[in-house]
Amino acid sequence: MRPPEQFTTPRLLGRKPRASDASAVFAAYASDPEVTRYLAWKAYRELGPLAEFLQARADDWEKEGSQFAYLLCLRETDTPIGSIAVHLNGSNALFAYVLGRAHWGQGLMTEALRHLVDWSLAQPEIFRAWAFCDAANPASARVMEKAGMTREGILRRWFPCSGFGPEPRDCIVCAKVK
Ligand SMILES: CC(C)(COP(=O)(O)OP(=O)(O)OC[C@H]1O[C@@H](n2cnc3c(N)ncnc32)[C@H](O)[C@@H]1OP(=O)(O)O)[C@@H](O)C(=O)NCCC(=O)NCCS
Among 36, 140, 169, 174, which is best to mutate for testing ligand 1, by the most ligand atoms less than 8 A from CB? Answer: 140
65 in a structural domain: yes
What pLDDT shows up at residue 126?
98
20 in a structural domain: yes
Q: Is the pTM of this model over 0.85?
A: yes
Q: How far is the CA of 140 from the centre of ligand 1 (A)?
A: 5
113 in a structural domain: yes
Q: At what angle do helices 138-146 and 108-121 cross, to 10 degrees?
A: 50
What pLDDT shows up at residue 1?
85
Q: Residue 69 maps to which CATH number?
A: 3.40.630.30
Query: By the 8 A CB rule, do 25 and 100 touch?
Result: no
Expressed as residue numbers, the domain containing 58 is: 7-132
What pLDDT shows up at residue 70?
98
- With b for 16 or more beta-carbon neighbours within 10 A and e for fewer, the 86-100 pattern comes to bebeeebbbbbbbbb
- Per DSSP, the residues of 38-59 read TSSSPPPSSHHHHHHHHHHHHH
Cα-based distances in Å from 53 to 22, 73, 131? 9, 18, 22
173 in a structural domain: no
81 in a structural domain: yes
- Ligand 1 proximity of 95 Cβ (cutoff 6 Å): no
54 in a structural domain: yes
Query: By the 8 A CB rule, do 97 and 84 touch?
Result: yes
Q: Where are the alpha helices (DSSP H) in 4-162?
A: 22-25, 33-36, 47-60, 108-121, 138-146
CB atoms within 10 A of CB 64: 5
Total structural domains in the chain?
1
- Ligand 1 proximity of 35 Cβ (cutoff 6 Å): yes
Nearest protein CA to atom 32 of ligand 1, as residue:
142
Question: Tens digit of pLDDT per residue, the chain (178 long)?
Answer: 899 999 999 999 999 999 999 999 999 999 999 999 999 999 999 999 999 999 999 999 999 899 999 999 999 999 999 999 999 999 999 999 999 999 999 999 999 999 999 999 999 999 999 999 999 999 999 999 999 999 999 999 999 999 999 999 999 999 999 9
74 in a structural domain: yes
- Ligand 1 proximity of 106 Cβ (cutoff 6 Å): yes
Nearest protein CA to atom 43 of ligand 1, as residue:
98
167 in a structural domain: no
